Amino acid sequence: MKKLLTGNEAIARGAYEAGCLIACAYPGTPSTEILENVSQYEEIRSEWSTNEKVALEVASGASIAGARSLVAMKHVGLNVAADPMFTMAYEGVNGGLVIITADEPGMHSSQNEQDNRLYAPHAKVAMVEPADSKECKDFIKHAFEISETYDTPVIFRVTTRVCHSKGIVELEERKEATIKEYTKDIKKYIMVPANSKVKHVEIENERLPRLRKYSNTTPLNRIEWGDKKVGIITSGISYLHAKEVFGDKASYLKIGFSYPLPDRLIREFADEVETLYIIEENDPYIESFVKAMGIECIGKELIPICGELSPGIIRQAILKEEEKESYEVDINVPARPPALCAGCPHRGIFYAVSKYKDKIISTSDIGCYTLGMAPPLGVGDISICMGAGITAGIGFDRVNQMADRDKKVFGFIGDSTFFHSGITGLIDAVYNGTNMVIVILDNRITAMTGHQENPGTGKNIVGQETPMVDIESIVKAVGVKEENIRVIDPYDLDETNKAVKEAYESEELFVIITKQPCALIKDIQRERRGLHCEIDQDKCRKCKTCLRIGCPAISFKDNVVSIDNQCNGCTVCLQVCPFNAIEFNGESR
């Protein structure tokens, strides 16, 4: 049967057909739908892990125990999981182990543009790179086989366009991979220096040479001969862009197995073509290799290193003026700057804190709440990576003390991020001491990436009930004094303002936990259906105080303030109106 699948759906299908038994992930664009789709196959045990390191460690244990295991994450997730990956490279596998990294050239929803292909030579593990949905499915099966044949974890590298584009995929039956026997082998599975030293030599002298040979012979790397005046070495989505621009007016070396790169094949290809181009997104990964082989080629001299490629960009970069057939799409897309949604529970606390914004430093984190930095709320000085909302705050606070700066530090972190990498920071704050304020924004879901369950929601990926990990208990258990903890409803501005004032005035570590579910959770939307706030135009003095909460449902046009149907009646605007001009469900305050 044939089906139109996204790359992420095809990866999930490939894992199913390959007999994968264990799949773990932490959500992150553009990888999130991989596990969501895998979890629909009952044969595979799927788990949202607390973070990517945990995901890879669980999958590594499962691989050593004998099962084909898969782990998926966004590019920055691999930084978190790098620790187990580098040592699993030494230990090798029992059941196949595939590590999917979904990179984000163009940074549609990421904080950096790192090119994770560079991880493969660094960790010395094999790497596979599909270009479309069909390859996503087929290559996952190859990846498991490569992993088992060469005793290595395999990095499976995709990018946003590969993950989210759709293509036709031929579905096949699942081939059960039986759980392999586990035999105790401490020389392989316990990486103390004596064993690691042996393993490193083995990797250099045996595994990598064998993989190099494979790279030159595998059908994952293929030459497509066309006009030999132009030769293009490329991989992933760049291959499809290059084909669109050059068609059969060029020859291609299409790389699908990208570490180790196929040296013999590259030389063979380069020898036959007149001008050699390397077309790849972001870093000159292939190009550096080709140049190091002493082969002349053109790459980043013309092709941009920053951002995504597109056929248009390649055309502009390489083709002669007269060949640049170009077309423009004449649509004026209205700008939609990201903003906290109408009814977002993060708004109340940011509004309360915004009154102190000139007197504080706020270290934010990665999640919907990063948008607290946007005007008019404007709460946010720093955001680095998941977890740093607390820890960068600790560091800033230290220097504030040394420099006698009279600025309190407020660190913000979401519930999913708290479980991911905030707990260690909180412990550090207690252990090493700080008088900062930590605000944990518990909206009962991982909202930013599309509502995945997390340890605080009481449900697992397939909707079964699980124990609900309680944030307040953790905060108490690590030693934050009870009198310095407030659990508040951020829709209640009096309570929120009071907690923020107490926190600001406290001379000790202070924790505020806001508890109110994301307004977009389906059940919550259902519950709140019909609730709304409305401006009583007779009472409205157009003071625009309500606009200062930054709610996208409220607008000021033609000298009239109005609330549109995005409103779900959170009542924050009503509470800030100095003239009681906002009604809730037709009733005044």
Ligand X SMILES: Cc1ncc(C[n+]2csc(CCOP(=O)(O)OP(=O)(O)O)c2C)c(N)n1
The binding site for ligand X (CB under 6 A) comprises: 26-28, 52, 74, 76-77, 80, 366-369, 386, 414-417, 441, 443, 445-449
Residue 488, SS3 per DSSP: strand
- DSSP character string of 321-333: GGG---------P
Render the burial of 268-286: b for 16+ CB within 10 Å, e for the rest: ebbeebeebbbbbbbbbbb
CB of 575 to ligand X, least distance (A): 21
The Cα 73–Cα 29 span in angstroms is 8
- Which residue, 52 or 138, is less far from ligand X as judged by CB? 52
Task: Kindly tell me which of 126 and 163 has the beta carbon lying closer to ligand X.
Answer: 163
Decide whether 152 or 449 has the Cβ nearer to ligand X.
Answer: 449
Are 7 and 133 a contacting pair, CB within 8 Å? yes
Q: How far is the CB of 368 from ligand X (least distance, A)?
A: 4
| Tokens at 214, concatenated | 């494979």
Q: Which residue is nearest to ligand X (CB)?
A: 414
Give the C-alpha distances (Å, rounded to integers) separating 573 from 497, 514, 535, 568, 582: 14, 18, 10, 11, 7
Which is closer to ligand X, CB of 52 or CB of 115? 52
For the chain, how many residues are written?
Answer: 589
Q: How near is the Cβ of 551 to ligand X at its closest, in Å?
A: 16
Smallest separation, CB 418 to ligand X (Å): 7
Distance CA 13, CA 172 (A): 9
> Quick check: 44 and 16 in contact, CB under 8 A?
yes
| Helix ranges (DSSP H) in 66-207 | 75-91, 119-123, 133-150, 160-164, 186-189, 193-202
Least distance from ligand X to the Cβ atom of residue 505, Å:
27
For the CB of residue 23, give the shortest distance to ligand X in the complex, in Å.
17
Report which secondary-structure segment, H or E, holds 408: strand 408-414
Pairing assessment for the beta strands 251-255 and 97-103 based on DSSP bridges: unpaired
> Pairing between strand 251-255 and 222-224?
antiparallel
Kindly tell me which of 367 and 550 has the beta carbon lying closer to ligand X. Answer: 367
Least separation, in Å, of the C-beta of 306 and ligand X?
Answer: 19
Residue closer to ligand X, measured from CB, 71 or 191: 71
Residue 205: in which H helix or E strand, if any? none
Residue closer to ligand X (CB basis): 286 or 445: 445
Measured in whole angstroms, the distance separating CA 370 from the mean position of its chain's CA atoms is 14
- Closest C-alpha among 552, 338, 361, 373 to residue 448: 338
The SS3 call for residue 273 is: coil
Closest CA to 229 of 272, 286, 198, 282: 272
Alpha-carbon dihedral 346, 350, 352, 358, rounded to 10 degrees: 170
Pick the closer one to ligand X by CB: 232 or 445.
Answer: 445
Q: How far is the CB of 62 from ligand X (least distance, A)?
A: 21
* Residues 6+ positions from 293 with CB-CB distance below 8 Å: 263, 266, 267
Residue 303 Cβ vs ligand X, minimum distance, rounded to whole Å: 27
Instruction: Give the nearer residue to ligand X in terms of CB position, either 37 or 215.
Output: 37
Phi and psi torsions of 226, nearest 5°: -140, -140
Q: How far is the CB of 78 from ligand X (least distance, A)?
A: 8
Query: 21: which strand partners?
Result: none
Between 371 and 563, CB nearer to ligand X: 371
For the beta carbon of residue 513, count every other beta carbon within 10 angstroms: 21
Is the CB of 82 or the CB of 531 nearer to ligand X?
A: 82
* Closer by beta carbon to ligand X, 82 or else 427: 82
Q: How far is the CB of 454 from ligand X (least distance, A)?
A: 7
Nearest CB to ligand X, comparing residues 255 and 368 = 368
Q: Which is nearer to ligand X, 277 or 351 (CB)?
A: 351
- Positive or negative, the CA dihedral 412, 418, 421, 425 is positive
8 Å CB contact between 44 and 21: yes
* Least distance to ligand X, CB of residue 371, Å: 9
d(CA 209, CA 198): 16
Which residue(s) pair with 568 in the sheet?
Answer: none
CB 430 to ligand X: min, Å: 21
**DSSP track, 328-376:** -----PPP----PPTT-THHHHHHHHHTTTTTEEEE--SSGGGGGGSTT
- Residue 73 Cβ, how far from ligand X at the closest point, in Å? 7
